[in-house]
Structure 1
Amino acid sequence: MKLTAFILLIFSLSVSASGRGQNITISLKNASLETVFKEIQKQSDYNFVYNSRLVKTAKSIDVDVRSASVEDVLRQCFKGQPLTYSIEEKTVIIKPSPHVIIITENETADPVHGVVTDRTGHPLQGVSVLNKKTKKGTKTGPNGEFTLHASVNDVLAFSIVGYKSIDKKIDNTDIALVIPLEIEVSSLTETVVIGYGTSQRKDLTGSVATIAAKDIQDIPFATVDNALAGKAAGVEVTKTDGTPGGAVRIRVRGSTSLLGGNDPLYVIDGVPMQVQSAYINPGYDVSSPVGNDVTGSGGVSAGMSTAFVNGLNNLGGLNIDDIESISILKDASAAAIYGSKAANGVVLITTKRGKKDMKPVITFSYYGTVSMLAKKPKLLDASQYKTLLQEAAVNDNAARVAAGRAPRPEAVKIVNDPNYFGKYNTDWVDLVTRTAFANNAEVSVQGGGGSTRYYTSFAYNNTPGVVVGTDYERVSGKVNLETEFSKHFKFITNLNLGYVNQNITNGAYQQALRARPDWSPYDSTGAFQNFATVAASYLGYENPLAMTTAVNNSKSTSLLGSISAIYDFNPHLQFKSTVSLNSQNYTQKLYTPDYLQIGSFYGNVSSNGGIGNNANSRFTDWFIENTLGYTNKWKDIHAVNILGGFSYETVKTSFFSATASGYPNNDVLNNLSSATTPIYTQGDQPNKPQSYLVSYYLRANYTLMDKYLFTFTGRADGSSKFGPDNRFGYFPSGAVAWRLSNENFLKNVKWIEDIKIRGSYGLTGTQNIGDQKYRTLYSPLAYAGTNALVPTQLGNPALKWETTKQADFGADVSLFGNRLQATFDYYRKQTDGALLALPVPPSSSYSTLLENTVDIRNTGYELSISGDIIRTRNFRWNASVNITWNKSLVTKLNNNADLTGIPDKTGLEYGNTTLIEGQPLGLITGMKVDGIIKSQKDLDDYKQRLNFIGNIVFPYLNIGDPMFQLDSTGYPDFHVVIANAAPKYYGGFSQGFSYKNWDLNLYFLFSHGGKLMWGDHVSSIKFIGTPNANQVMLDRYNPENTGTNLPRLLWNDQIIYNSSLSIFNSSYLKLRTLSLNYRFNKTPWMTRTGISNASVYATATNLFTITKYPGNDPETSDDAYSVAGGYFDVSNYPAVRTISIGLKVGF
């Protein structure tokens, strides 16, 4: 209500000011013109621009008007005066009458006053104004005003970054000027951040995508990686966890590594930050059914600890509104300067800084957000549930009797016991979800003087999740200070601080999809119902509402800071030294009350007295870097840019985790020290860093006649993660580009602004694979009072770098005065020696050995097109689209690898995804269903093809059951490739409209040809135990519904695991964000209160999705890190729609 009232107040004041501007009442005698001007300003939203000395030449006047227009008042005031005026928008410009000569060529220069505005009339601060004759200049103030001495025929030059520069020749009437500047539509001179420097876009030889701050701000995403979706070709962004602030999966031109993670390298203000692929791993889990139904392990899942791993986000401490620009380096030429960290691309994030001679600008913004379910799952109600469960039991009893076996006792109860079903009709999804209200407030100060520039900000975000018990709270701060001690030496301090308090997915939503609708969440005493005591056949499923009280909390503090000293020897040679620190500290608390059941890595654990875990993890990365850069240009023919550098990095991690049970109280005495029974403790507190990286690098750019461009990059990295013989990796790259538009045969074609073709080839690497993998390791173990060391890791000193070779061919085109721009790229990305854990003989006392054994290739095409469709003074319509086709291929695979012999799921078979030489990544395996048995002939033929064992395993086979693809022996094949899950192409497109003060922007995402295994479908189709099911099962096979592809219901005896029945097309078109913004015209009350600009906006996310996918959301992944996995929809969190209203005010 407060926000609504404030917005209405702004609107009413604006309307009031505009209304008064049409009616002026003045009664003055013997008054000067300046006095009249001030009175008009008080009563209207008109501003006056004039030379004070000129106005003093006017005669005093008597004015007596009531409810007159501004124009009528001005006409009366200027009668008989040596002055005249003109009105542009709401600005009145005073100048001498045409016959009056105020300044001449021979007179001393007088001050010229003026205002510089944008195309909408808003004043522009910081515009450089230079008198080209006298070489003296100034800059415009907060209201766009300036004063500069000039004589007749002097030329004033106006310039500012982002706008077209113009020259204005002074004539004898130009005492007061209004200079409107047009936005610079050319992107050729746009400054693009690249590795260790910047470049103009026209000079790029590599493939670099840029995202402007305006494209990601005013959108209610908690973290920047969520905001990148659909913004750049070749960059695939997929949600892995829907919790507020949850992690996403980002792939730049496909996946390259099996163990090292596939997220890009993030470089924030020059400080590299690698996404970590492993976090705290507690010793127990809370039941959570859907996920493990997908992996075939029954009803108890990996639960809360899995949610903890998926839920954290390394970028959580970075405030989106602090970002100035984002560059994504995609090819080897652009990324090779980062060597061993750049195989998956590089995301360069530049945050805001102060500006020279800029008065302090204070910006305050606030938005409130309403979050709700975008799509509610359709589950069976109590009546439907009873009908289907009894049908399944009747079918099963008949099948068992026909096979000569006794019916299951509980199946008999389901059919015959009138008290078996409860009297309730509980909507569990409604109970565990909610409409959530979030708040975000930010304040920043930006400015600078002659030698100091500064930017600082503070932001607070509080976002409750739509699932009860989940939320995200962040406090972040930023300080950037740049001080010039002399014309040669400057010092830069950059500090980003973040604190995140996050309650992560607690499994309640997944449980709500399976909970029996005929049960109540409470027992007769009003306490939470413990489902395990109600029915033994419930198989570990939990009370969803009770699960919302379980604690899964993480707190993280982050510090990302750097100190840089820069010394310019001369305009061409610069030395820079930087020391940076990336420190991340995570703490976690898990607590499960005694009315919930627990599954454990170490067997079943009693929940009597509750069970809890406390854990913490610390990550410290020190980075020291020195670079020397040289730039020069000769006669507009030759230009060089050379940079060499050295860096040294140390990384230290530590963790501790303790689990215990037997807590006296669920609500108060539930801290670890109150527990009576320790269960498990583990930790690692090293004294020294675990890894070191030393690097040497060089980049040389040469441009000939602004037409022929050459780039060479070389980097050598030495890492302690590899054995002594393989410590160093070498990563060279080269690129060439040709600007055809500067050749004589195209130079004079007016509608061609720029055409450039480019090609590159180079090597990058991966070393984000964990520490000490090449060593044989032992761990201490105590048994029967004796301490010993036991083998835990078999070392391989021959481990080598994972190396990625990438070739790229591209073209950049700009036409029709830059109103149409396009970029095309073809790439071929080959990764050799990807690490894989292969099984070894049990006699060795080890299970696996890490080897460089897999080669992976990604090839693809990228196309980006953008343009101004309509561009007039008051209206603009622009659009953009990007699309990527990527195809992966496993080109080499170790023949000794065993598909089922890798226990840690980091090898060939990850869940139900497999790697096959000669086949693409993302192959889903399972049971392929060839159809439903619909006649006695179908049944007889299928039984005849089944071998002896198959007929024993499927003793109740009958009409309505599925027919599985059989192997060569006649047995159902459980590991057939049933889908290629990777999309054929994906991308995004935008539409932007501006009309006067209004802006409307729409961003769409699309993906085509992908597949997902729908976990809810896998769970529903089995009918094992008594959990609920999705309404898709209303279409099951029965004598009245024989046209379906779903099998009949068979309680506990329908042997069907992950199958092709649960594979669905995940193609979609989604309106990801819609934003409407209104900028207020400046009014007198704003001037009096010090407000320079104000705007209000409304933003909505996920307004609609067009898809045939029946599950939660086609834009989903269950795994952020794996190269092969991530194509299972385990419904760990519902899809969310948000609507936000925000306000931004500048002072």
Structure 2
Amino acid sequence: MKLKFKWIYTLLLALSMQFSFAQEKTVSGVVSDASGPVPGANVVVKGTKNGVQTDFDGKFAIKAKVGDVLVVSFVGMQDVSAKVGASNTINFKLQQGNTLDEVVVVGYGQIKKRNEVTGNVTTVNADKIKAAPMVSVDQALQGNVAGLQMATTSGTPGSTQDIRIRGRNSINAGNDPLFVIDGIPMINSNFSGSSNISSLSTLSSIAADNIESMTVLKDAGATSVYGARGANGVILITTKKGKKGDAKFSLSSSVGFQNNAVAGLRPFTGAEKKELLLEAIYNTYGTTYNFTEDGALAWATTNLASGTSAMRAWIAAGSKEYDWTKLMKNEDALINNLDFSVSAGDDKSTLYASVGYNKTEATVIGSDFKRISANLNYTRKLTDKWDLKTSINVSDVKQAGVLEQGAFFSNPNLTRYFMSPWNAPYNADGTYFLPATGLHNSLYTAKNNIRANELTRLMSNNSVSYKISKNLTYNGGISFDYTMNSYKGFNDAIHGDGVAYGGTSSASVSRNFNYVAQNSVDYRLALGENHKLDFKGLIEFQKNKLNFISAYGEVLPLGFTNVANAAANKDASSSFDDWSNLSYLGIANYKFQDRFLLDLTARREGSSRFSEATRWGSFFSVGGAWNVDKENFMKKLSFVDLFRLRASYGTTGNNSIGLNEFQTLLGTSSYNNQGGMFPSQFGTTGLTWEIQKKLDAGIEFGLFDNRITGSVAYYNNNSNDLLLSLPMSLTTGHTSQTKNLGKLNNKGFEFELDLDLIRSENFNWSIGGNYSTVKNEVTDMPIVNGTRITITGGTTRTEIGHPVAGWYMRKYAGVDPANGNALWYVNGVDGATTTNYNTAAQTWQGKSALPTYSGGFNTHIDLNNFYLDATLYVAGGHKVYEDWAAYTQGQGTTTLVSYNGSEPLLARWQKAGDITNVPKVEYVATAGNAQATSTSTRFLHDGDFMRLRDVTVGYNFKSDFLSQIKLDGLSFSLRGTNLLTWVKDKDLKYDPEVRADGFTRLSSPPVKSVVFSINVKF
């Protein structure tokens, strides 16, 4: 009896325990990473649909049973799991993991997992964008995207950038990528009020702190959804949105300084200029008039009084050196940035709001940049079927620019190189030295002249969605982009450009209004568990209107700077431009068992840039992918986490030409105070789209728990029916006509590789990089009057079998050791030489202006709460031409008397037997040296360079410390940008990062900076 009772008792106890184990309970905890709590992480019970997300403190609470396994996942992090035991609390620590599973935006709001994308896309996340100290957010892409090449057109804050994705796709039509913000195509162009001063990018109006990510679309499979506008690639900008949870605040502040990234060409000191001038006088007159080099000064004082007066005055005043390079610099130019944001949300609404302030000084005198911005993103679930999204971004930018788009005498970058070191910047009484003729004293003009842009931009994105049925959704939206720039220019009457006119004043207002209306339906269809299809149909209309008005006047009373105060020659002008696009788009995505993917896109697009008969173009793309790692035969290869093949082929169009080029136009003018008209444009019947056919194929892989990830891609882009500007006979009264003629090819490879060398709780180390090549070649040019057209300029030529605008000139052969005269190769290649520049042949000089390879290499280290990031950028395989060398490296009086020479001239030929590339200096050039500075390879340099793009050291405080001071996050960082630059060609003294045309410019060079930042979350 006792035994039986004991058995029953044991059975009841076991049943009780089993029953208690089967009961659900609430398990809570915190999810964090190295920087603190992780809001938005997914916590699920493995094998069930039971899941929650962490709040802004990284906290979660979920129903689970003892024995259940909780799995935590977050984009870019490794999944972490733990088994539920007796405790009701489980805390998770996330570490950096596989980025191939991250979610990416691929076009028109489509969001996919990385392994569901068939196109070639690259995403740069918020951390890299925010950390970049430049005011234009697109600069964060340099070195982080394979196949994307970027050159800084000017170091002046807010300037536009030259961006090329997979090379140059057109000869005369546009080559700039399309920028899309939150799914809406936007306007990004130079909005400066004058073509003579610093450019002003509309992207500089966007605060980097508001950007969630930037995604670059490169192949037809990714870009064809944007039709013609995606011909040169697409850059998608996604702004930050609110997240569910209590209101959370973020404050970030950074302060730093910047200087020129490269020292640049060093001008002569006063003593060096004196030495070479006297040597030039001796080389010209010494033998004839029988004086030695030491006697050149005495002879010149009597015989060349006017030509040497400045030198003699400088000597008489004590030979004091004046460093105009230093005088034109704004040393340690300040950077100051402040951003404040709040994010909150509940089951129905989310809100993100921010304000920001940026002030960045230029490294050249007279220029700076200021921006104030505000942003609001709001979403609302109106009903079970209706959802609303709206955002507004408003900013005001002020840029004090400089004259730097040409050889302007008030350009401080020109003054730096051209101003004689014999000229004192100030008179003895402390007033400015104001030369009556020639160069301007930029110290004076920078202070007294005005070059001011003020850009106000308002962007608003609004959409609603209606869930018609479980699988069918309607989306409608309209977005606005309003940009207004007010420009004011003033030239002082005392000194500089305004002297001859009694002072000048100019003003202009540009108002650009761009709106995009979209209506689309999305349908999802599942045929069993294996087949899933997504369909999107979209109609889009885009309209752009630009109004411009300007005024000008001369003779202004002292102290007045506005056009209204001008007393003479008042003038005004105005213009209006508009264009529109209408598009019909269809997208179909098919997925079979997560193994096979197929994407189809068709787009019909009409552009007002073409006539009614030819304005419609049809474009398509087909993209496919095979996730090989999902196949059963791959299970034996346990070390393979991801292996996929993808390919795409499609067409896009390019319509980036001037408005109304298809029309025959009349222009207006005046004669004898009477209005008149004249033929201003020939027009082209049948002008239509430039067509690009794009092929892309690639492999993506992840090995050993994704410790090794990477990709290899091949692309081949053919541009047909180029929108080519052909020269016309002047007897027609016109210079050119645009036609659809010619073909162009770009092809190359792209490689990406990332390695997690060490993964642990307290120490992580990863390295990675990307590398890309591009070969640009003209494959067809039209035949006119029996002759194949070539486009030849002073330094370049465009011809079949060569790159667009390849370098084409005479080849410099150095200096004759016997007499110091310049030599050129007779055949333009090698062998026989000549001192007669005109008898030397012009020919191809090897390389194009655009780099044929580029890449970026990076490393990341976490050590407890410290972290280190570093990025290296390389580009090369191209040539850079040193513009204005005839003035800075001339052998005669232009350099040695009128302006100033530079360091390379110190290596000039001086006596028989000298081996050098620099000819002798002469006061009057002999026949052998008369054209020593004319266009030739003497000033054509290898453009290969390597730049330490970024180095960041930071510290993230631990959660336990943060809880004591009631903060959610606190971090410090010190970042250096462009700290070091290595240049292959020692003769290239200017910064190697030049514009896409390959010429050095008298512009503010790229900058290096050191910035300290603090980020606080509460």
Please report the TM-score for the alignment, with normalisation by the length of structure 1: 0.79
Kept in 2, the 8 Å contact 1:642–1:698? The answer is: yes
Shift in alpha-carbon separation, 1:110–1:783, aligned structure 2, 3 A: same
Shift in alpha-carbon separation, 1:942–1:639, aligned structure 2, 3 A: closer
CA distance in structure 1 between the partners assigned to 2:233 and 2:287 by the alignment: 57
Equivalent of residue 795 in structure 2, options 903, 912, 919: 912
Aligned residue for 1:867? 755
Structure 2 SS opposite 1:419: helix
Q: CA offsets, 1:923-964, max 9 Å, x none? A: 22344222322337x989999x99xxxxxxxxxxxxxxx946
* Displacement after TM superposition at 1:1135 (Å): 3.8
Alignment of 1:56-135 (within 5 A): 105-106=19-20, 112=26, 114-120=28-34, 122-127=36-41
Shift in alpha-carbon separation, 1:981–1:898, aligned structure 2, 3 A: farther
CA distance in structure 1 between the partners assigned to 2:63 and 2:668 by the alignment: 82
Which runs of 5 or more residues in structure 1 are unaligned?
1-98, 282-304, 534-539, 599-604, 902-906, 947-961, 1120-1125
CA distance in structure 1 between the partners assigned to 2:25 and 2:418 by the alignment: 79
Kept in 2, the 8 Å contact 1:238–1:250? The answer is: yes
Structure 1 SS opposite 2:227: helix
Alignment of 1:1082-1097 (within 5 A): 1082-1083=959-960, 1086-1087=962-963, 1090-1097=966-973
Equivalent of residue 545 in structure 1, options 415, 421, 443: 443
Alignment of 1:622-771 (within 5 A): 622-665=515-558, 668-678=559-569, 680-684=571-575, 686=576, 690-771=578-659
Kept in 1, the 8 Å contact 2:596–2:626? The answer is: yes
* Displacement after TM superposition at 1:505 (Å): 2.6
Shift in alpha-carbon separation, 1:922–1:878, aligned structure 2, 3 A: farther
CA distance in structure 1 between the partners assigned to 2:344 and 2:253 by the alignment: 21
Q: CA offsets, 1:755-778, max 9 Å, x none? A: 111221111111221211111222
CA distance in structure 2 between the partners assigned to 1:940 and 1:693 by the alignment: 56
1:1038 aligns to 2:936 (yes or no): no
Aligned residue for 1:576? 475
Shift in alpha-carbon separation, 1:942–1:755, aligned structure 2, 3 A: closer
| Amino acid across the alignment from 1:341 | R
Aligned residue for 1:1142? 1013
CA distance in structure 2 between the partners assigned to 1:935 and 1:924 by the alignment: 30
CA distance in structure 1 between the partners assigned to 2:39 and 2:523 by the alignment: 33
Moved more, 575-584 or 841-850: 841-850
* Displacement after TM superposition at 1:1009 (Å): 2.2
Shift in alpha-carbon separation, 1:720–1:942, aligned structure 2, 3 A: closer
CA distance in structure 1 between the partners assigned to 2:792 and 2:191 by the alignment: 19
1:986 aligns to 2:873 (yes or no): no
Aligned residue for 1:213? 126
Moved more, 693-702 or 159-168: 159-168
Alignment of 1:599-638 (within 5 A): 607-638=500-531
Structure 1 SS opposite 2:393: strand
1:1077 aligns to 2:990 (yes or no): no
| Amino acid across the alignment from 1:215 | K
1:256 aligns to 2:169 (yes or no): yes
* Displacement after TM superposition at 1:543 (Å): 2.1
Equivalent of residue 933 in structure 1, options 804, 816, 824: 816
Kept in 2, the 8 Å contact 1:646–1:696? The answer is: yes
Kept in 1, the 8 Å contact 2:163–2:177? The answer is: yes
CA distance in structure 1 between the partners assigned to 2:905 and 2:561 by the alignment: 42
Kept in 1, the 8 Å contact 2:160–2:189? The answer is: no
CA distance in structure 2 between the partners assigned to 1:843 and 1:1106 by the alignment: 52
Moved more, 509-518 or 833-842: 833-842
Aligned length, in residue pairs: 969
Aligned residue for 1:555? 454
Equivalent of residue 329 in structure 2, options 421, 426, 433: 433
CA distance in structure 2 between the partners assigned to 1:941 and 1:465 by the alignment: 41
| Amino acid across the alignment from 1:431 | L
* Displacement after TM superposition at 1:119 (Å): 4.9
Structure 1 SS opposite 2:267: coil
Alignment of 1:582-601 (within 5 A): 582-598=481-497
Structure 2 SS opposite 1:214: helix
Which runs of 5 or more residues in structure 2 are unaligned?
1-12, 291-298, 404-410, 828-832
1:178 aligns to 2:90 (yes or no): yes
Aligned residue for 2:982? 1106
Kept in 2, the 8 Å contact 1:1018–1:1058? The answer is: no
* Displacement after TM superposition at 1:213 (Å): 1.5
Aligned residue for 2:296? none
Q: CA offsets, 1:590-643, max 9 Å, x none? A: 222234443xxxxxx853422222122121111101111122334441121211
* Displacement after TM superposition at 1:112 (Å): 4.4
Structure 2 SS opposite 1:383: helix
Kept in 2, the 8 Å contact 1:133–1:154? The answer is: no
CA distance in structure 2 between the partners assigned to 1:142 and 1:1049 by the alignment: 71
- Equivalent pairs: percent with the same residue? 26
Aligned residue for 2:248? 361
| Amino acid across the alignment from 2:751 | L
Aligned residue for 1:504? 401
Shift in alpha-carbon separation, 1:888–1:797, aligned structure 2, 3 A: same
1:226 aligns to 2:139 (yes or no): yes
Equivalent of residue 422 in structure 2, options 518, 539, 546: 518
| Amino acid across the alignment from 1:997 | N
Aligned residue for 2:371? 474
Shift in alpha-carbon separation, 1:1024–1:719, aligned structure 2, 3 A: farther
Aligned residue for 2:1004? 1133
* Displacement after TM superposition at 1:1060 (Å): 1.1
Kept in 2, the 8 Å contact 1:397–1:408? The answer is: no
CA distance in structure 1 between the partners assigned to 2:959 and 2:249 by the alignment: 16
CA distance in structure 1 between the partners assigned to 2:61 and 2:155 by the alignment: 55
Kept in 2, the 8 Å contact 1:500–1:555? The answer is: yes
| Amino acid across the alignment from 2:948 | L
Shift in alpha-carbon separation, 1:1080–1:965, aligned structure 2, 3 A: farther
Q: CA offsets, 1:1085-1123, max 9 Å, x none? A: x5465421100111011111111344455442246xxxx
Shift in alpha-carbon separation, 1:1118–1:743, aligned structure 2, 3 A: closer
Aligned residue for 2:294? none
| Amino acid across the alignment from 2:413 | Y
**RMSD between aligned alpha carbons?**
3.3
Aligned residue for 2:743? 855
Kept in 2, the 8 Å contact 1:717–1:728? The answer is: yes
CA distance in structure 2 between the partners assigned to 1:1146 and 1:701 by the alignment: 40
Kept in 1, the 8 Å contact 2:811–2:824? The answer is: no
Moved more, 783-792 or 811-820: 783-792
Q: CA offsets, 1:535-590, max 9 Å, x none? A: xxxxx432232332332211111122111011122342221111011111112122
Moved more, 794-803 or 1036-1045: 1036-1045
Kept in 2, the 8 Å contact 1:618–1:655? The answer is: yes
Aligned residue for 2:765? 877
Please report the TM-score for the alignment, with normalisation by the length of structure 2: 0.89
Aligned residue for 1:269? 182
* Displacement after TM superposition at 1:748 (Å): 2.9
| Amino acid across the alignment from 2:566 | A
Kept in 2, the 8 Å contact 1:397–1:407? The answer is: no
Structure ID, larger Rg: 1
Kept in 2, the 8 Å contact 1:361–1:447? The answer is: yes
Structure 2 SS opposite 1:118: strand
Structure 2 SS opposite 1:216: helix
| Amino acid across the alignment from 1:360 | A
Kept in 2, the 8 Å contact 1:931–1:963? The answer is: no
Structure 2 SS opposite 1:570: coil
| Amino acid across the alignment from 1:386 | K
CA distance in structure 1 between the partners assigned to 2:852 and 2:35 by the alignment: 47
Kept in 2, the 8 Å contact 1:268–1:350? The answer is: yes
Kept in 2, the 8 Å contact 1:863–1:882? The answer is: yes
CA distance in structure 2 between the partners assigned to 1:827 and 1:555 by the alignment: 42
* Displacement after TM superposition at 1:155 (Å): 5.9
